[in-house]
């Protein structure tokens, strides 16, 4: 038995596998299939101060090796989460990460202040590609990444703040540095890549929103490369994600510099993906004589060096 636990901003996760926001709700549905307390962490469905109804349907499409989604931040609002789901989710024993989004700097500060001290960590969604008011405006330029991070941090005074980075930018490492300067305790990446899938019979995009966020196995090499670039640039811990389907995928991200990983789309392909990955991480470590999984972080050596 290897030690799979990781330390993220002073918080111990029993393993580095975190459910990615938007694919796992608040955990209740998957808990009908297995005990979600065994998962390292759960990043909740993206929440806003007020409830949101989201985008029209269809909200999802498939392309080989990837999916596209444009749910549009449908959520019951942060108060509903605090009243109805928070205590239950904590009681499962998983690390509770509240994923939050907003329209304005003030929204970000307010929602972080509301959750401060109530959850284990807060993940800032400044990169939702599917909603104009979903914070994307803040997630593109390095200056605004710093500004929104600083405002959020002034709300989340006692709770580690993760800034989730968009890959749809000029230089993701620069944006990671901006988040770090703004006071981020951690960065996570990648959010989805903006894409389009067309129904050629109707000559229209499949998704009602026209474009959607691309995720799933096919985006993994892009995500690994970006995780490496970001991990090289910042001193704060990095959570890697993008197309992780199995333990070996997760290990790639760790070697590229991630302290923990998130699993999203794979939960749709196989609802038991995360428990399987956790079990296989242990088996991989045992087979390779690795006593501490966390020792793999950042061990990548580039060719020619």
Partner 1 sequence: MKDYLATIVKNEKIAENIHAVTFALDEDIKVRCGQFGNISVGGVHLLRRPIAICKVEGREVTFCYQIKGDGTKKLKDMEAGTRLSVLMPLGNGFFVEEEEQKIALVGGGVGVFPLISVLREYYGKKHISAYIGYRNKAAVCGVDEFGKADTFIAVTDDGSYGEKMNAVQAFEKALLAGNRPDVVLACGPTPMLRALKGVAERENLSCYVSLEERMGCGIGACLVCVCDLTDGKKARVCKDGPVFNASEVVL
Binding site for partner 1 (CB under 8 A): 22-25, 28-30, 32-33, 45, 53-54, 57-62, 64-67, 69, 71, 74, 206, 216-217, 265-272
Helix, strand, or coil (residue 286): helix
Task: Supply the minimum distance, in Å, between the C-beta of residue 139 and partner 1.
Answer: 21
Instruction: Please say which residue, 130 or 297, places its beta carbon nearer to partner 1.
Output: 130
Task: Supply the minimum distance, in Å, between the C-beta of residue 45 and partner 1.
Answer: 7
**Rounded Cα gap, residues 196 and 63, in angstroms:** 9
Contact call for residues 263 and 244 (beta carbons, < 8 A): yes
128 part of the active site: yes
Instruction: Please say which residue, 245 or 297, places its beta carbon nearer to partner 1.
Output: 245
Instruction: Please say which residue, 60 or 290, places its beta carbon nearer to partner 1.
Output: 60
Contact call for residues 54 and 73 (beta carbons, < 8 A): yes
Instruction: Please say which residue, 237 or 243, places its beta carbon nearer to partner 1.
Output: 243
Contact call for residues 111 and 135 (beta carbons, < 8 A): no
Task: Supply the minimum distance, in Å, between the C-beta of residue 18 and partner 1.
Answer: 15
Residue 193 tokens, joined: 């890549």
CA 289 to chain centre: 29
**Which of 246, 250, 247, 194 lies closest to 224, judged by CA?**
250
Strand pairing partners for 205?
Answer: 198
Which residue out of 95, 112, 128, 186 is catalytically annotated?
128
Task: Supply the minimum distance, in Å, between the C-beta of residue 213 and partner 1.
Answer: 12
- Residues identified as active-site: 128
């Amino acid at each position: 038995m290897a030690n799979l636990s990781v330390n993220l901003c002073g918080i111990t996760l029993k393993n580095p596998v975190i459910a990615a926001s938007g694919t796992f709700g608040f955990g209740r549905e998957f808990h009908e299939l297995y005990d979600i307390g065994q998962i390292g962490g759960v990043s909740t469905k993206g929440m806003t101060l007020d409830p949101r109804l989201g985008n029209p349907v269809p909200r999802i499409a498939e392309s080989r090796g990837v999916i596209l989604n444009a749910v549009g931040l449908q959520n019951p609002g942060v108060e509903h989460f605090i009243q109805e789901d928070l205590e239950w989710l904590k009681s499962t024993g998983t690390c509770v990460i509240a994923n939050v989004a907003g329209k304005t700097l003030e929204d970000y500060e307010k929602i972080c202040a509301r959750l401060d001290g109530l959850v284990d960590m807060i993940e800032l969604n400044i990169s939702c590609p599917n909603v104009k008011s979903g914070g994307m405006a803040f997630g593109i330029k390095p200056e605004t990444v710093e500004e929104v991070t600083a405002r959020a941090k002034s709300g989340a005074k006692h709770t580690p703040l993760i800034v989730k980075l968009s890959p749809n930018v000029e230089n993701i490492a620069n944006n990671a540095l901006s988040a770090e300067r703004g006071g981020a305790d951690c960065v996570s990446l990648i959010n989805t890549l903006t894409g389009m899938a067309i129904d050629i019979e109707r000559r229209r995009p499949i998704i009602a929103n026209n474009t959607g966020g691309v995720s799933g196995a096919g985006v993994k090499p892009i995500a690994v490369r970006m995780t490496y670039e970001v991990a090289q640039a910042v001193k704060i811990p990095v959570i890697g994600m993008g197309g992780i389907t199995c333990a070996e995928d997760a290990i790639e991200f760790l070697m590229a510099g991630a302290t923990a990983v998130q699993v999203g789309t794979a939960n749709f392909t196989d609802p038991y993906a995360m428990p399987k990955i956790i079990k296989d991480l242990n088996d991989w470590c045992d087979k390779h004589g690795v006593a501490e999984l966390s020792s793999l972080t950042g061990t990548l050596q580039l060719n020619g060096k």
